[in-house]
Structure 1
Amino acid sequence: MLSILAVFGCFAVFMVPGLCCREKEYATSNGECCPMCHEGTVVKRDCTPFSGTRCVPCVHGTYMNQPNGLNKCFPCTSCDQGLFAKQQCTATSDTVCGVLEGYFCKLKDDTGCSLAQKHRPCESGHRIKTPGTNTSDTECEPCQHGFFSEHGVDCTAWTTCSETQVMIHEGDAHSDVVCKATEPRVHYFLSIPLLLLLLTIVGLRIKGCWNRHLPEDLCYETLVTCVIMLSILAVFGCLAVFMAPGLCCLEKEYKTSDGRCCPMCHEGTVVKRDCTTESGTRCVPCVNGTYMNQPNGLKKCFPCTSCDQGLFAKQQCTATSDTVCGVLEGYYCKELRDDTGCSLAQKHTPCESGHRIKTPGTSRTDTVCEPCQPGYFSQYGLNCAAWTICSETQKKIREGDAHSDVVCKATASRVHYFLPIRLLLSSLTIVGLLIGG
């Protein structure tokens, strides 16, 4: 029986060592217990009786988010169409994907969103009832009577033709009312009151001249003076006809280069041709990459703002609104615009080795770093980890500092004798009982 026990003991020595590895240790292929590698690193070489575990950092595009005994880092997740890197992949954490403006998430996973789809556009004659979000698609509804939507964004009330225009085309859900000018507007407000006033004065003077039986020469002189004044008034009246038309354009009208008043174009469109006596203003939509956010009499749309490095299109440019730029994860805004969001972003400052991130950077502020306290180290400038305490079977061969950990060396290969000892004691007890019996 003792021989059998010896055989089992020998097997236990060579087969059991990895069964009771400690929490921060891993079992090697030959059954040894070795210290695990930290987050952000993996095993290059297992420990030996003469050296500890040799670890190497994860290369760019890979990560390791846990203490481990693995030989390869995990590949970073890539953010596909409609997604952006909300949190960049680092040596210790995977990419977290966010949803770009104009898309919604169709499939979520542990790292955020893995599949996004573009918001559906509303058709002409409809408006956006509920705008799409990063979790839901757009909801559309048809325009009510008396409103139209050419591009499927908002429903706009039909234009009411002015007093100097006639309706030549009824509006519907897809297009506006079309008005036609009856004649160019001529402002007589300046000439008519003056004419009435002058005629009154002339009439009174002529009447007084003959009623008082003044000499005919004087009356004729008075008449000639009145004729001259009427001629001067006629000249000013002509000037008013040609110069005054644009002085009193209505609120939704603009003044042309030749002084006429024409109806303005709607948001999202600009003037292709000014109105004439036969037709209203001809408008054209803003092309891709341009917008117009107000009623206007302009010939060109405004160019859309482009989001540069560190920024993403939080709200895409449309025919009626400019791009609104948001800040990517890992950057902060240095120049903020009220109407288009952020115009200039800068990458968060990385903390140096021997320091940790005291306050993580946000979209508005940079990273704040601080040095590690004694007894802690930071190899990559992320967190300060406590120095490793060498186990009973190891000895310290290098002190730790703010940049690197303590280095331990195994004194001898650990052999777990707990199984053969228990078997030996049990067998000796049985032998003793048999002999005593």
Structure 2
Amino acid sequence: MFWHLKFLSTLLCLLLPLQNARMTPVCEKGEFLNYSKNKCEPCPDNQYQSKRGTDNSCDNCSTCKKGSKKVSECTKTSDTHCRCKTGFKPKDVLNREICFCDKGFGLDETGNRCMKCSDGFFTNKVDSICQKFKICKSVIKIPGNSTSDAVCEELTEVPKVISTSTSIISSTTSTSTTTSSPQNRDSFYILWPVLLYAGIILLIGLLSCKVTQCIHNHKKEASRQESICRKPVEESGEKCLSLLV
């Protein structure tokens, strides 16, 4: 008797899940199972269900975001279909809701168009505007391209000693320039001929005095010799003879 009761309870446990499975409905596409009512109901607005089953909810419809545009609307049985705009790339190959403007491409003023940067411009960030290459004052070390800016050759720094001496020279030059004004130069140009003429006259005067003194001395010596010769012969004869010799 006990054995029969055990067999019946086991059979009942096996039949109950099958009975419940037969009683739970399977919903079609575009429907979800309302467990409280144990029946299928259509998906709400902006939701969809793309497969048959016993899911108790529907999926939310996708929204095309920046860089993508809508190809088809969301329905009860299918999601919204999006596609990247021209020039944009999808962040996910399977999901094209979000697209971006890659490096080397730039957005326009509206942000709705992505175009390759023209010659002389670049972008090194996504979703950015093309920027112009750097203008080098010296030699270009690395030329720019669509994804990187140009690199300039750095100028070698001048040693401080040279810069100091240069500043000293420049300050000296500026000081001398400031001291020597045009008015002083004009005065110098006017005075130097006068000084030159005065020097020449002074030199001539000195030479004249020297010549005059020499002539005077010579005449004095000649007169002295002549006076000696005019004395009596007995006093100065020998000297006169010596002079004649």
Q: State the TM-score, normalized to the length of structure 1.
A: 0.23
* Between structures 1 and 2, the one with greater helix share: 2
* Between structures 1 and 2, the one with greater strand share: 1
- Higher Rg of the two aligned structures: 2
